A and B are shown apart, each in its own frame.
Chain A
C-alpha cells in the first residue's frame, strides 16, 4: 500500500496530475468520514475533505515518503476541520432543521455541538443518535474519539496526526470516554 502510494506521489511530483486521482480514490472515504464526523454535516465535510486533498496536492513535495501518507493526509484534514469549527457560529445550523421531520437524510442536518430537547434525542434512530452524541463532544475530545473509535487508529498514530504527545492523547481519550458515558448514560 505504502509502496503504491509513494509510486503515485513520485508521478505527481513529476507533473502527472492524473496519478493523484488514484491517491484520492484510495483515501476518499476515510478522509470524508473523519471530516463528516468532525463537522457534523455532509456539505461541509465534502468541501473540507476536498480542500484537504487539494492542499495535499499543492504541498506534496513537503511529504516525507519515509512516513505514513495517511497520517500526513489526516493531519491536513483535521487541521482544516478544527479551523472550520472555530470559525463557525455555534448556532449556524440550528434554525435549519428539526431532526425526524427531515426524511431525506437522517443525519445530514444535525449540527456539531448543537443541543436538542431530551424527548427528541430519545426518538432518534441509532445512527442519528451516534452522530448527534459525537457532535456534542467538545472539539478536543471529538477529534481523538473519532480517530480512535471510528477510524480505529492506534493512540500513537493519533498523536502523530494531531501533533500531540502520547500522554495528551491518552488524557483526551479518557476524558472523551467519560464525556460520552455521561452524555449517553440515560439511554
Chain B
C-alpha cells in the first residue's frame, strides 16, 4: 500500500460523496483492480456506509408531542390578555383607574390612624373624647376619627364616627344622619361618597388634626 498514490484515498471519498470526475473515477477503478489492499479499504468504507444506513428508523415516544406542548411557556394567556386590552381600550382604562383609585384609598386607610375631629365652635375635646355638652346646640356636621364621641346636647347636622365609639345620652338629638364606620368597606364607601360630594359641591367641613 505504501506504493499507492495518496490521491487514491481522496478519490475513494470523492466517489462516495458523489463528486468525482470521470477521469478520476477511471483512475480509481484501474487502481482498485490492480491493488488488493486499496480494494479492501474501498469495500470497508462502502460496507460502513451500508451498515450505518441500515439503522432502523427511530420514532419518538407517543407522549412526545404532548410533552413538548406541556413544556412551552404559557404565552398564550398573555397574548390573550394583550388581545383583550387592544379590543377593549375603554374597559382597560376604567379597570386601570379603579386599580389606582383603590390603591390610593387603601394606602390612606392604613396611614389614617390619627385622632381627628371636625372643628365646631362649642365642641369640647378632651384627649380622644369629643363631647357635645348638654344644653348646647352644635350647628353643622361632626366627623370623629379614631376617637369617642359623646353626645349629650343637640347636633344640627350629620354625625359620623370612623373607627371609634359613639355614645348618645337620653337628651341627645341629632337632626341629620348618624353613622358609625369601622370596617374597610364601609369606610371605602364613605370615602367614595365624600369624594363624590367634594367633586360635585364644595363642602365646608374643615378637618383638624390633633397630635
Residues of B within 8 A of A181 (CB): 41, 44-45, 47-48
Choice from A17, A29, A50 contacting B76 with Cβ under 8 Å: A17
**Contacts A15-B75, A155-B17, A184-B51 given: A178-B60 contact, CB under 8 Å?**
no
Q: How far is the CB of A49 from chain B (nearest CB, A)?
A: 7
Q: A104 to B182: give the CA distance in the assembly, Å.
A: 71
CA distance A16 to B44 in the complex (A): 51
Flag if A24 contacts B52 (CB, 8 Å). Answer: no
B125 CB to closest chain A CB (Å) equals: 62
Which residue on B lies nearest to A182, using beta carbons? B44
Verify if A81 is at the interface (C-beta below 8 Å from B): no
Given the interface pairs A15-B75, A180-B51, the reply to whether A28 lies near B45 with Cβ below 8 Å is no
CA distance A99 to B45 in the complex (A): 27
Q: Are A130 and B51 in contact (CB under 8 A)?
A: yes
A177 touches B48 (CB 8 A): yes
- Cβ of A63 < 8 Å from any Cβ of B? no
Interface status of B64 (Cβ within 8 A of chain A): yes
The reply to whether the CB of A133 lies closer than 8 angstroms to some CB of chain B is yes
Interface residues of A in 8-63 (CB under 8 A from B): 14-17, 20-21, 24-25, 28-29, 31-33, 36-37, 42, 46, 49-51, 53-54, 57-58
> Would you give 7 A-B contacts (Cβ < 8 Å), ordered by A?
A15-B83, A21-B69, A29-B57, A54-B72, A130-B52, A180-B51, A185-B44
B residues whose Cβ falls under 8 Å from a Cβ of A: 13, 16-17, 41, 44-45, 47-49, 51-61, 64-65, 67-69, 71-73, 75-76, 79-80, 82-83
